[in-house]
Amino acid sequence: MWDEFILSSGAGPYLLYGWNQAVTGAYGHKTFNIMAFEDSKKPVGALPLALIKPPLLKGSLVSLPFCDYGGIICADDEATSLLIEFAGRLADAVDAKLEIRTAKEIKVLCEKYNMGVISHKVRMILNLPQSSQELLNGFKSKLRSQLKKPVKEGLVFKTGSLELLDDFYDVFRVNMRDLGSPVHSKKWIASVLDAFSANAMVGIVYKESIPVGGGIILLCGDTVTIPWASTLAKYNKLSPNMLLYWGFLEYAADNEFKYFDFGRSTQGEGTYRFKEQWGAVPHPLYWYGEGFGNEPETLAEKGGMREKIAQAWAKLPQGVADILGPVLRRYISL
């Protein structure tokens, strides 16, 4: 019933039951899938939540962790209010702050429930034509030339599932260390692939037998979403990222999907410009929570601190980062 309602609403893959299933299976966090019903039979609203509670610290009841958005899927305002009020009582019961991250603005969260909002991040979404050839023809000549480079350099793109997990993770863990970010556990990635089954795909770019880039896509309704993509910095001059994304875009266009969700970025930054070159356009994200705000000074201060931490993490030996990363990452809900 849950997935049927989510799919009928047009919501994205993170709201499907499999995401929270993976959160519990990989990291052991408590999850809650709340529904509102009309006449006790017809579902009219849904709100998935996960409790992220670090040791000795106040927890966060989040919709949803480890992704761009979760949020409230509702048919009317009454169901929305019922779900918010239930979630608020649940947050009090588990001694946690309530955070609701959505792909749509929900003004009532600020107006009635006194939440702040952070909205400087966007999803980059590309409308797909009916074939990859039509998509390719629509690219600027510079982009088409960039797509030829990795092929000329001997790189190849391969898709699969769990059998490619090790190759993906070998790229992912190194790239995340280099970016200064704790890496998810391999168990988390495996849990997502297992939960989404045929609706998840791993793509790997190889230089001969060496994996130099990798990504994962989730298929949901008419949309392909890419939650993770990584390349090895020492091979970036061969442009494996171009072949990786083109491989996924080619698959999406040729298999009758209408949209490709490149994931979140900050406008003007490098990842934003990379996604924009493919024709993707920004769609705002709204993250609501107690004490949240979008003041430039606050964001700048937090950004500066994050930058210092990232620089220190990037200097860790790879083996140390591989061990410590998953221990910390399970409690970082972003």
CATH of the domain at 147: 3.40.630.30
Q: So what's the pLDDT on residue 297? A: 38
Question: What pLDDT does residue 258 have?
Answer: 98
Tokens 């998810």 -> residue: 184
Q: Within 10 A of 248 (CB to CB), how many other CB atoms are there?
A: 22
Could you tell me if residue 75 is inside a domain? yes
b/e sequence 281-301, b meaning 16+ C-beta within 10 Å: ebeebbbbbeebeeeeeeeee
Please, which pLDDT band fits residue 300 given cuts at 50, 70 and 90? very low
Q: Judge contact between 182 and 325, C-beta under 8 A.
A: yes
Q: Where are the alpha helices (DSSP H) in the chain?
A: 2-9, 17-27, 77-93, 108-111, 132-137, 141-152, 165-179, 186-196, 240-254, 270-276, 296-314, 318-329
Say yes or no: 142 and 204 in one domain.
yes
Residues 103 and 144 in one domain: no
Q: How many C-beta atoms lie closer than 10 Å to residue 121's C-beta?
A: 19
Domain with 57 in it: 2-122+286-294
The answer to the question of residue 276 being in a domain is no
For residue 165, what are the β-bridge partners?
none
- Specify the number of domains making up the chain: 2
Considering the domain boundaries, does residue 89 fall inside one?
A: yes
Average pLDDT on 64-69 reads 98
Q: Please count the other Cβ atoms lying within 10 Å of the Cβ belonging to residue 30.
A: 16
Place 294 in a pLDDT band, splitting at 50, 70 and 90. Answer: low
Tell me: do 210 and 252 sit in the same domain: yes
Quick one: 85 and 133 in the same domain? no
Within a domain: 169: yes
Lowest mean pLDDT segment, chosen from 74-83, 87-96, 228-237, 254-263: 74-83
How confident is the model at residue 1, as a pLDDT? 92
135 with 224, same domain: the answer is yes
75 and 35 Cβ atoms separated by less than 8 Å = no
Length of the chain: 334
| 115 and 136 housed in the same domain | no
Cα–Cα dist 188/179, whole Å: 19
In the structure, what pLDDT confidence band is assigned to residue 163 with cuts at 50, 70 and 90?
A: very high
Q: Which stretch, 39-43, 46-50, 78-82, 303-307, has highest mean pLDDT?
A: 46-50
**Is residue 154 pLDDT above 50, yes or no?**
yes
Predicted model pTM: 0.94
Q: Considering just the CA atoms, what is the radius of gyration of the chain in Å? A: 20
Question: Both 208 and 228 in a single domain?
Answer: yes
Tokens describing residue 217 = 């896509």
> What does the alpha-carbon distance between residue 48 and residue 51 come to, in Å, rounded to a whole number?
11
User: Considering the domain boundaries, does residue 299 fall inside one?
Assistant: no
Same domain, 199 and 135: yes
160 and 82 assigned to the same domain: no
Residue range 257-266: average pLDDT?
97
Q: List b or e across 129-160, with b for residues whose CB sees 16 or more CB atoms inside 10 angstroms.
A: eeebeebbeebeeeeeebbeebeeeebebeee
Residue 278 lies in a domain: no
Nearest-angstrom CA–CA distance, 202 and 159: 6
Q: What's the mean pLDDT when you consider all of the chain?
A: 94
Q: Are residues 117 and 138 in the same domain?
A: no
Same domain, 96 and 26: yes
For residue 17, give every residue at least 6 positions away whose Cβ sits within 8 Å of its Cβ, in sequence order, or none. 2, 3, 6, 33
Q: For residue 110, is it within any domain?
A: yes
In a domain, 269, yes or no: no
104 and 168 fall within a common domain:
no
